[in-house]
Structure 1
């Protein structure tokens, strides 16, 4: 499955969504508190969102799914 990361981090109320790129289905949503908490815990950093390396993006999405305790069929 191919994911699209939709991140709004440089605004008053940051958020992040992971979508199924083929269907547009939202697979994961992080609210403002979760975004801040996950950044502070080192679960993700902004630099990883700009990576062109698919393995980095895959690891990021997996880490976010695990952190959110979501089991999503890959």
Structure 2
């Protein structure tokens, strides 16, 4: 499932399906990729892109639920 979210909600482990806006607004040559590097997350937040589309089925985000780590 692909979902549009604001960049402020973007987390490591999310699979970016598409960045909003023109490709010249962001520093990435890839159109879609798994977000694994903190510096890539910072670059997305700083480049002025307001929203991204994430593919939840391809994402590998971890969260803590009741003290145990589980994949989202």
Q: Structure 1 length normalisation: TM-score?
A: 0.31
Instruction: Using CA pairs under 8 Å that are at least 6 residues apart, name the structure with larger relative contact order, 1 or 2.
Output: 2
Bigger Rg over Cα: 2
Whose strand proportion is higher, 1 or 2?
2
Whose helix proportion is higher, 1 or 2?
1
